[in-house]
Amino acid sequence: MIIAIDGPAAAGKGTLARRLADHFGLALLDTGLLYRAVGMAVARQNADLDDPGVAEAAAIALKPQDLEARDLRTDAAADAASRVSAVPGVRKALLEFQRGFAAHPPDAKQGAVLDGRDIGTVVCPDADVKLFITASAEVRAERRYKELLDRGLEAIHGRVLADMKERDARDSDRAVSPLEPAKDAHQLDTSDLDADQAFAAALGFINSANT
């Protein structure tokens, strides 16, 4: 069983993906981490984040241990990821890894949940279930702002919202694999839902797809 979850940042994809993976006993791949690791590899070389050659080379050289770097959850990593992810060579280099994960999930699991931006459209177009999770930019910025404060980091609400909108535009407007719902995706707006309600709604879609 393959579950594809796409949508913009802070829409609730990550939490939902983890809960669905636990519920169905599936492997989980947060594909944003791959792009974050590539972005941070470029940043650590002090290279230009918009240089396609450097970004592609970093994607080709990516190792599993790079996904464990502690700085991948920072806003700097999110920004770097959003920039390198527009490079076709980066997407190509990461595609095989993602498809391999879905085809041969680790730990003898019988399937996988992948979350990202182009899972239902490009990485796993034949997924059994496709979910496209959204929420308003204001709600997503508010969630992100609270998360940063909870982690003891400084944040300015207006800045978080502006960054969110900038990243949304970059992810949606890029030429290769832009953020967009697959034609057969179930769309779920979590603006007024908590994590339990979003999980219940997703289970409803999955059960209806299997009957």
The sign one gets for the Cα dihedral 168, 174, 177, 183 is positive
Q: Tell me if 78 contacts ligand DC by CB under 6 A.
A: yes
In this structure, are strands 27-30 and 2-6 parallel, antiparallel, or unpaired? unpaired
* The only residue of 62, 102, 117, 130 in contact with ligand DC, by rule CB under 6 A: 117
* The only residue of 3, 54, 58, 116 in contact with ligand DC, by rule CB under 6 A: 116
DSSP 185: P
Which residue's CB is nearer to ligand DC, number 40 or number 108?
A: 40
Which residue's CB is nearer to ligand DC, number 8 or number 26?
A: 8
Catalogue the E-assigned strands of 63-206: 112-116, 129-134, 186-189
Stretch that binds ligand DC, among 80-88, 126-134, 151-159, 197-205 (CB under 6 A): 80-88
Residues whose CB falls within 8 Å of the CB of residue 124, separated by 6 or more in sequence, listed in order: 2, 4, 98, 99, 102, 114
Q: Tell me if 134 contacts ligand DC by CB under 6 A.
A: no
Q: Provide the binding-site residues for ligand DC, judged by CB under 6 A.
A: 9, 31-32, 35-36, 78, 81-82, 85, 116-118, 167, 171
